[in-house]
Structure formats: structure tokens, C-alpha cells
Amino acid sequence: MKYKILGKTGIEVSELCLGTMSFGGQADKKESAKIFKQCREAGINFFDCANVYEKGESETILGKLIQGNRNDLVITSKAYFPTSNDVNARGGTRKHIMTAINESLNRLNTDYIDIYFLHRFDDLTPIEETLRVLEDLVKSGKVLYLGASNFAAWQIAKAVGISEKNCWNRFECIQPMYNLVKRQAEVEIFPMAVSENIGVINYSPTGGGLLSGKYAGIKRPKIGRLIENKMYEARYNDSKMFDVAEKFATLSKKLGYSPISLAIAWAKSHPAVTAPIIGGRNTEQLKDSIDSLKIEMTSELREKISNISIDPPPATDRNEENTEHNYGQR
């Protein structure tokens, strides 16, 4: 296992991060313990969680598993989404975040969280209000570093600018979606992260299982995240994405790699990415994810895989900027 510096933090994290969304759901306590052990044996020291995963049960299970080696690990959690039917139990408000952090600390059985993410941009709360309470969490010692998940590049840049203006702790890590069929992050989010030296841990490197190979061909599985979960179904319900998945599965077979391993290796190879977030409902599924470390992702191989999907247009929407027909090129 190799380790990378996370943004400006100086912290070294494993080049794979385990997402614990399945803990307490698809993976029961016993299976979650096996998955955790498998990751630790592979050298993974980076574990991602959130307060809404399985209504807090994921945090509770992770909290029990990290006892005895807490200080050797980098643990994340998140706040934003509703935690109850109360109208104020959501968002980026001081009231919600102060409640959410204490509940997460209790479930995780720890007195600090290494990286605390805002799970989504709050359109109703001034960003200054959110950043001020996040600064208070760092000053109190409950949080070491701050992060943003599912933010647009301009939202991250605005937040970082406000934090630096006020001498507050800024976002040091971001968590965007990124995989072979979801490449929008390449346009503005990744360049911004590289420019500002912000760590990136991308989620869904296998497209919610779309790139696992089981959705290729005429015969489709009857169970799986894209079938059982309406959110994932809506996210990937595009025939073009399934066409890419089919071509990717064919290429993976030709190269002799598991599609899961190859998909994660491809996502990990982007220069902006610190560590992709992997996951699974059992140790067998997770093995292919960890085996992605065995693949040498050369620039030629990355380009060959990238050519299967469509490059996202530049931020200006001027496709000619990537050709010789760009009269403004310097």
C-alpha cells in the first residue's frame, strides 16, 4: 500500500479509502468486521462515513471497530441531510451542525473526527454562517480538518475564499463523484483542487456497480444497487452509460482484469485524485477493489479506457479549445 499526502494537511492516507455506507445495512456487524480487518491487513488507514448512513448504524459499527487503533486511522463523517422529521434537523445551520457533530462523536466513540464534511451545499443558509460554525468545531478540537462533498467548483472556491479572508480553517478535502461514465469533475472541480492543493477522495469509482461487468450483455442481474436503489437508478438511467459499461466490460476481459479493479485503477490514476472510495457488501466484493492496486495504469492504458466514454466539454463549452482551430490558443 502506498500513502499520499492529503492536500495541505501533511497527513498521509492510503491510496484507497474504505466507504462504510454498507455497514449495518448490506453488511451486518459480522461482515463489517471482516471487511474492516481485510482493509487493515491491506494497509488501508482511511475510512469514510456519514451520519445518515443506515440512520447512524454505520457510524456505530465503525466506532466499535476502530477501538484500540483509533489514532492510527483517518476517520471522516458528514452532516447536512435530514436526521429526523424535525424541520431543523438538516442543512448547514449552526443548530444542526452542532447537534450532528456531537451525535457522530458519540456513535463513533471518539473525541475527534479527522475530516468533517458538509455533505451538500446548503442553498438556504449563508455559507459564512456554515463556515463559522465549522471553524468553531476545529477550534474546539472536535474536528481536525474540514471537507466538502457534492459541491460545485464555484461553491468550493467561494467557501475557500471566505475562509482565507477571515483566517478560518478552509476545506482541505473534497468528495466529488467520479468514474468512467461520470467525468464532469474533470472540467472544473479537479483543476480547482490541483490549483488550490485540496485533497480529493472521489466516490462511486465503479458507477454504483454499473462498471462491475454484471450489467453488460442482454442478461441483467435481478439484484444490485442500480436496481434496488432509486437514487442510483435515477443517476445512471442512461442508455449511453450502459453502452460504455458494455464496452468497458469487453475491454476488461480482453486485458485480463476484473472490471471492478480496472475501473478503480482508472479513477485513481487521475492526477487530482488522492484516493478513490471503495466499498462492498462482503469481503469477496472488496477483494477486486483492493486488487486495483496491482494494475499499472500507464498513460496509454488510461487513454484507451477514457476513449470508451465521451470527454466532457470544457467549462466554456468551446469544444474547439482542444483543437488546432482555437484562434485564442497561446
Q: Give the residue numbers marked as catalytic.
A: 53
Distance CA 213, CA 222 (A): 14
Helices (H), 116-197: 127-140, 153-165, 189-196
Distance CA 277, CA 228 (A): 21
C-alpha cell at 26: 448490506
**SS3 at position 167:** coil
Nearest to 89 by CA among 52, 62, 116, 61: 52
Q: What is the CB-side half-sphere exposure of residue 138 using CA atoms within 13 A? A: 20
Q: How many Å from the N-terminal Cα to the C-terminal Cα in the chain?
A: 41
**SS3 at position 116:** strand
Distance CA 204, CA 117 (A): 17
